[in-house]
Chains A and B, each alone.
Chain A
Amino acid sequence: SQKIEQNSEALNIQEGKTATLTCNYTNYSPAYLQWYRQDPGRGPVFLLLIRENEKEKRKERLKVTFDTTLKQSLFHITASQPADSATYLCALPSSGTYKYIFGTGTRLKVLA
């Protein structure tokens, strides 16, 4: 069955550093992948989408890569700030439909 893995352990980094989060998947060849941000007590909020023919996508301080050979996406936040502290989820489409499978998320804490 389709499976998504994100590092369930929290990631603590110093302000100003680059945070890198990993999303690995198996038994799957998605045409695209999404990243969401979730703050405590709130629903996830869409950040970025990257398609299989795009190796890299950027939005302000965010960068996402998509390696279909490794079956992995990396999510980078450069010049991180305490306000970037949140849980970040990756999501893949489920078998050509409008529904998505989510990873468990990685909690990021940026220390001032």
Chain B
Amino acid sequence: DAEITQSPRHKITETGRQVTLACHQTWNHNNMFWYRQDLGHGLRLIHYSYGVHDTNKGEVSDGYSVSRSNTEDLPLTLESAASSQTSVYFCASSETTGVAGEKLFFGSGTQLSVL
């Protein structure tokens, strides 16, 4: 069965370190997204991609970067981790059908703690 997987499930790092969270989908979806989820804020969009070599900033992109070298993967990099980036990170994907309303398929999330 097609799926979307995130790794690691849990990560503890120190302030200032570079961290990369992996996201891999086997749906062959063009669209991929990174969200962070915090109490009181819900899901907020960090970065997104509509295809290979395409990347776009979301509403909370400062301090994060992504790259899309193939259809299956969209790794999220925290260039210099800060305590404010402690959160649960979700990757999602969707297909492009030409009909508005494509649903998102989410991974199980990565719990990141920055100490």
List residues of A whose CB falls within 8 A of some B CB.
8, 31-32, 34, 36, 41-46, 49, 51, 89, 91, 93-94, 96, 98-105
Contacts and interface: CB of A to CB of B under 8 A. Distances in A.
Interface of B: 31, 33, 35, 40-45, 48, 50, 58, 90, 92, 94, 96, 100-109
A42 to B, nearest CB: 6
Given A98-B31, A102-B43, A103-B42, 19 more contacts: A32-B100, A34-B101, A36-B104, A42-B108, A43-B90, A43-B108, A46-B105, A49-B101, A89-B43, A93-B100, A94-B45, A98-B48, A98-B96, A99-B33, A99-B58, A101-B45, A102-B35, A102-B44, A104-B41
Among all A-B residue pairs, the 10 with the closest Cβ atoms:
A43-B106, A104-B42, A46-B103, A102-B43, A98-B31, A32-B101, A49-B101, A102-B42, A44-B106, A43-B90
